[in-house]
Amino acid sequence: MTSRILYTICLSLLSMCTVHSMTSEEKDQLRLQVIDMFKHGYNSYMKYAFPADELMPLSCKGRYRGSEPSRGDIDDALGNFSLTLVDSLDTLAVMGMFDEFEHAVRQVIQYVSFDRDVIVSVFETNIRMIGGLLGGHICAKYIHARHPSHLSWYRDELLVLAHDLGIRLLPAFNTTSGLPLPRVNLRYGIDLTLSKSDQERFTCTACAGTLILEWATLSRLTGNHLFEQYADRAMSYLWERRHRQSNLMGTILNVHSGDWIVRESGIGAGIDSYYEYLFKAYVLLGEKNNDYLSRFEEHYSSIMSYVQRGVAMVNVHMHQPYRSTKNHMDALLAFWPGLQVMAGDIKSAIEMHEMLYQVVQKHKFLPEAFTTDYGIHWKSHPLRPEFVESTYFLYKATGDPHYLEVGRTILTNLEEHTRVPCGYAALSDVSTVQKEDRMDSFVLAETFKYLYLLFDSIPHRYIDIDQFLFTTEAHLLPLNLLLFNINDTLKTEFNRLTLKSIEQYEPRNVSMSERLNERKAKSYQCPAMDDQFQSHQYKENLRQNVRGNQDMTEAITAASKNMEKRNNNASNRRLTAAEFSPDDPVHIIQLKEMGIQLQSLPDGQIQLIHIASTAQSLNDAEDGLHFMQEMIDFMKHTNANENSPLHRIPLSVIPISIPSSKIAFDFPVSTAQFGKQLHGTQGIFAQLYVVQPFSACSQILFSPHVHSRVGIIRRGDCMFIDKARSLEHANAIGGIVIDHNLSLASSTGSIFSMTGDGNNNVHIPLVLMFKDEAFQLLHLLSKQPYLIIYIGDGNYLAESFYAQIDYIESLVDASKRINRRWTYGQHEMIDQKKQCLVISEKLIRFETRIKQYVTRTNNKSLSEISSNTTMDTYRAALDRLIKSVSSDAEQIPSSNSTQQSHDKLYETVSDSKNEP
């Protein structure tokens, strides 16, 4: 079954069981009333405002960018490109106003141009303008195919405009992460100086993650692959930035580094349409893109576990999902029940929609933000469509006449409290219904469109809605894009423009994000087909559970009432503390069933939290209590017993200083439960490099300098395993994490093992060094920029040296290196002109340092440790080296620049040595 058929089933089949408590005459009367309301708003815009972007309904004039007092970020949606007209195109088509639609298309072609010196929001311009142009183009082709007398003159002009606008937005993607900058100048692109400012380098999750529907459609209609490629890359990068334990997303992040700026997670403003586009991208693009579905399912499960509190959806910390960040919700989250309908979770959709309806009944409109006790937090209401949207999808899925009555309430309130002689005015205060001189384009594009569809008793009256997918701005995109081909002449022109845009933009975007998850086929069902939903009484019972509650967070939902008890038998034996491993995903699932969550701390450690109410059953909750007590006792025993399997003997970091100092020393370091293990085996030798960004929580800068080196990074901001992944992606061979907590020290026995996130896909070693030792290492590094260190078990130092002696010589004596240079997919070998079997003096001094360390630690000579290993062995190894090729893919920075970099870092650490 294809995703398109599945989507149609989820939304359509249940409507067969409709009980018509509202007569068809009543519905048709309400439908005609919606048309009248839309015409009043649309005609007012065309009469008083066009070609301005928006109508000012109280002033009866148009709002042009720059001619009215600035409203801040709100005005970023305006570009002096007739926004409201473009946004309204497919609403005209859906309502069957074909003559007016054809006239509107001509107006857009004649008046709309994007060669303007104006800075616009990439997000808003995409969903409103590109989405509006695509929706208009699709409807024009659809109408002409079924009504040949209309639009016979149309030659895909709206698609040409959409392509031109897309090209003008492409410079926003000139970032190291692949995330788009929030704003772009339509004529001049990006001011690189401005793009580094705080205002321009931060973007919201929804802003970067709400492109794939429009841009994939644009790519597939025009043949320009860049649009879909860039949008998909941004989506993949966002997925990588999720918190690996909670699977939640933050709200605002840095487009260059990927660092989270605001770590609040929810489903409202700043993040809403990211989740919507994950699911809809799977529906639109088909099963080959099923990783969108798997991502959505992971996010959805976490949202329903952490963000949902009763029937409320409150923001939480993405890293500490049991901590709420506020006690109010914003109106944008009202889209969620509609998305739940499409995803098949009808029960939850009914309950949350009823909660929202209780707010509407209390205040007539949904305030811009409201509290969990149904009070007003932000009192404005710009006539948003999200609640109408969810009402429409619930009625379409269930056929329950209750939602027609909800729609009647919305319609009546709009007509009574927001209609003015020149259109419909937003409300600045829902409690006093005070009006504001504002009518956003989405009022015509979405609010009236969804109201019309709700009351349309003939779903296929003008356009077969079931053959289309709605964007977040309610624009129509076809589920079968192949039905909307363009002519050969236009295809040739698009190909020419594609090649030109590739030459201009593609070389700048060199940091393609790799997808961490393999594509895997997943079956997906529509739970809405359950027989119980044929009963309107059942749905009324679900709503009744929500009514009468004074606090949304205390509402008892169907999911919590009908929690199934797990059979407590031998096949489901409880996990014990001694068996538990934080890297085993099965163990993580078992803990979750017992109501135990792993919470990542800022310093990279984890802690276990038991919340009995989140367990799958009472028996599971009781098992969780026993597990927690076991873990407390087990950890006490582990810390006291060096023979415990969890007691990890620390490794060593040994600087091999040349020229040699009088004292040979090493630094004990903590190990990781993931990555390459160095206990009881040979260690690694490498030079050091101080990584940028220092946290290594995002893509490593200057990665050629990190290649084949051990990266020095600081603790904090993300999990240890995330840091290791960043280092490995930059081709480092290991990492040293510098601790910042002076209360922890190796001298006090504070060695512990760093944990992962259950997905052990790291292959390099990572160790943690406490601050006192790190200060000494950095001091030494500041004096010797090309210092070589050994990481591993000190007992294997000599063995590691002689086993890796050919590689070590390439480190201590750069003149011995053999380089491999890659150019455009072919390699060119640059061999040394002169090679000999003379042992380097530097290597001899290096060996002396090894002897000093071994003699000091083991009180016996090097010959006793490795009696069978001599420098003759090295000569044989060198013979093999001459016949082979060793690779060196990095360009070593100059000695002076490296020295200055290390000196600066040393001074920074020195200044902060005594800070808490």
Active-site residue list: 124, 272, 368, 386
Helices (H), 666-748: 703-706, 720-729
Cα–Cα distance for residue pair 406/393, rounded to 1 Å: 12
CA distances from 611 to 72, 485, 845 (A): 43, 55, 60
Assess whether the previous peptide bond of 478 is cis (omega < 30° from 0): no
Does an H or E element contain 623, and which?
A: helix 618-640
- What are φ and ψ of residue 600, in 5° steps? -85, 130
Q: Running DSSP on this structure, what letter comes out for residue 303?
A: I
Residue 309 identity (one-letter amino acid): R
Place of tokens 């000093």: 852
Q: H or E segment at 525?
A: none
Task: Kindly give the pairing relationship between strand 316-317 and strand 264-265.
Answer: antiparallel
The token pair that represents 218 in the structure block: 């644009």
Residue with token string 């030798």: 685
DSSP H helices in 156-211:
157-169, 198-201, 205-208
**CB burial string 447-458: b at 16+ within 10 A, e below:** bbbbbbbbbbbe
In this structure, is the dihedral angle defined by the CA atoms of residues 283, 288, 289 and 291, taken in order, positive or negative?
positive
**CA distances, 702 to each of 15, 197, 238, 763, 891 (Å):** 58, 21, 22, 21, 10
Alpha carbon separation from 533 to 30, 163, 522, 647 (Å, rounded): 26, 44, 25, 55
Tokens representing 632 are 């407390």
Q: Which of 632, 631, 610 is nearest to 622 (CA)?
A: 610
Cβ partners under 8 Å of residue 341, min gap 6 = 10, 11, 349, 390, 393, 394, 396, 397, 528
User: What is the enclosing helix (H) or strand (E) of 504?
Assistant: helix 488-505
In the structure encoding, which two tokens stand for residue 375, read together? 């009070």
Tell me: is residue 472 an annotated ligand-binding position: yes
| 176, 249, 700 from 511: Cα distances, Å | 6, 22, 11
Contacts of 490 (CB under 8 A, 6+ apart): 155, 156, 159, 160
Alpha-carbon distances, residue 460 vs 8, 18, 30, 453 (angstroms): 14, 17, 17, 10
Q: Cα(first)–Cα(last) distance of the chain, in Å?
A: 60
113 and 186 Cβ atoms separated by less than 8 Å: no
How many Å apart are CA 350 and CA 66, to the nearest integer? Answer: 44
Tokens of 173: 């993607």
801 φ, ψ (degrees, to nearest 5): -60, -50
* 912 CB neighbour count, 10 Å cutoff: 13
Burial of 654 (0-12, 13-18, 19+ CB in 10 A): buried
8 Å CB contact between 318 and 265: yes
DSSP letter assigned to residue 756: -
Determine the Cα–Cα distance for residues 542 and 9; give it in Å rounded to an integer: 23
CB 253 within 8 A of CB 243: no
Closest by Cα among 162, 222, 145, 231 to 467: 145
Q: Which two three-digit tokens encode residue 444?
A: 């015509």
Q: Which has the closest alpha carbon to 596: 632, 637, 625, 555?
A: 625
Residues belonging to the binding site are: 472
Residues belonging to the binding site for Ca(2+) are: 472
